[in-house]
Amino acid sequence: MWASTTESPVLLLGAAHVVDLEAPLRRELAARPLDGVAIELDAERAASLLSDSAGPRSGGGAPLFARLWSRVQRRLGAEIGGGEPGAEMKVAARVARERNLPLFLIDDPIRATLIELMRTMPFKERVALLVGAVAGLFVPARAVRHEMDRYAERPAEYLSALRQASPTLARVLLDDRNEHMAERLAVLRHRGYGRMAVVVGDAHLEGLRAALGRRGVPVEVIPFQRLRGATAPPVPS
């Protein structure tokens, strides 16, 4: 298929953290020769999410908005996606274990990310973020499902609106993390892990693709919309 692992593209798979994607993820990962699997987690979140306990801990030391968003994700996962938040990361980790592949945690430490966000976020953005988190506790699941469908059809428009509404949030939670994850993947590739499958939130796909492209790494992308049921082939970079 490819002359060497360093010529093969990195496979980026987009997930929605409240939608059960176990079947399509397993199908995509099983169909490919891989040197490793990478997921959008840091060591702290992985220790919680991938443990044998009942589920991820709420993180009492996290900022209020982060604890609220965690509750929102758990509610929506139960009402919309049919699974718990982070289930796609668990699936990727299980596939790696079943195939005796190394599992790489490529995200920034969550606490450092939240500290940077709170340090740099203007007051107006903080209020808007907190209000959004509170509203998410009560918004009907059908309304969220409708918005997810709209996002899947036009993700670029949604990300553009996010950047206008909260540029600090977009920079810290998307842009900075994309650069750091791309750098870690480039280092892994240099070490011989060329045929890599990477599971990240769908909002990271285009930024991570661009960041890898700046480092000369070819990329193949399967977005969330395609994973959850479309049959069109992946989009090469």
Exposed, middle or buried by CB within 10 Å (0-12, 13-18, 19+), for 86? buried
Nearest residue to 210 (alpha-carbon basis) of 175, 164, 167:
175
Nearest to 89 by CA among 51, 124, 41, 126: 41
Residues 6+ apart with CB under 8 A from 80: 18, 19, 141, 144, 145, 148
- pLDDT tens profile 136-177: 544 555 655 656 666 667 778 878 888 888 899 899 989 999
Report yes or no on whether pTM surpasses 0.85.
no
Average of per-residue pLDDT across 8-34: 87
Note the pLDDT tens digit of each residue in 52-87: 554 444 444 555 445 544 554 454 444 444 456 678
Secondary structure (DSSP) of 61-110: TS-HHHHHHHHHHHHHHHHTBSS-TTHHHHHHHHHHHHTT--EEE-SPPH
pLDDT tens digits, one per residue of 79-98: 444 456 678 899 999 999 99
Mean pLDDT is lowest, of 93-107, 122-136, 142-156, for: 142-156
Structure tokens at 153: 């059809």
